[in-house]
């Protein structure tokens, strides 16, 4: 069995450098940050490197399982760019798969300006009261009527 982690699949970008910042920019992550902050930025972590490492681990495990069942090895290729584009498209392709598109790209809930940690007197609170029950519990916790 052979596993290869590469920047790009064969095509116009093959052989180009594929550093985390390059992949974050080309895959759309920096643009998603611009939609929230008004400025294109990279995530403050090596998100593409770490995400693609997880993709590779899962692909290698699948190939090992296949070898166990069939006795055949496999070539596993994990391209960073294509992996991160797929990662982003899960929610941000949104209504673009219809013709004509139903909406602009980007999942509104995760791009909303109110989706963030909120400052408190002793730090921040990270929450997502997504249902009526969540809101009721939140209001009860902070001593406000629901």
The domains of the chain are located at: 2-107, 116-146
* The pLDDT of residue 92: 86
pLDDT, tens digit, 9 for 90 and up, residues 66-120: 999 999 999 999 999 999 999 998 888 888 888 998 888 888 888 888 888 999 9
Contact criterion met (CB below 8 Å) for 122 and 61: no
* The pLDDT of residue 81: 97
Rounded to two decimals, what is the model's pTM? 0.80
Cβ atoms within 10 Å of 14's Cβ, excluding its own = 12
Give domain 2-107's CATH number out of 3.30.1490.20, 2.40.100.10, 3.40.50.10540, 3.30.70.360: 3.40.50.10540
Confidence band, pLDDT 50/70/90 cuts, at residue 13: very high
Instruction: Give the rounded percent of residues in the chain with a pLDDT score beyond 90.
Output: 68
Q: Is the dihedral of CA 127, 91, 18, 38 positive or negative?
A: negative
What does the alpha-carbon distance between residue 145 and residue 79 come to, in Å, rounded to a whole number?
51
What does the alpha-carbon distance between residue 50 and residue 20 come to, in Å, rounded to a whole number?
9
């Amino acid at each position: 069995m052979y596993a290869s982690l590469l920047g790009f699949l064969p095509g116009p970008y093959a052989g180009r450098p594929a550093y985390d910042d390059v992949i974050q920019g080309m895959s759309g992550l920096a643009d998603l940050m611009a939609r929230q902050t008004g400025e294109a930025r990279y995530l403050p972590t090596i998100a593409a490197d770490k995400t693609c490492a997880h993709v590779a681990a899962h692909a290698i495990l699948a190939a090992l399982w296949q070898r166990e069942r069939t006795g055949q090895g496999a070539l596993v290729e994990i391209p960073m760019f294509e992996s991160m584009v797929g990662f982003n498209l899960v929610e941000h392709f949104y209504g673009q798969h219809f013709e004509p598109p139903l909406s602009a790209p980007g999942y509104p809930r995760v791009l909303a300006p109110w989706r963030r940690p909120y400052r408190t007197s002793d730090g921040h609170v990270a929450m997502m009261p997504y249902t009526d029950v969540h809101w009721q519990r939140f209001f009860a916790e902070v001593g406000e009527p629901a």
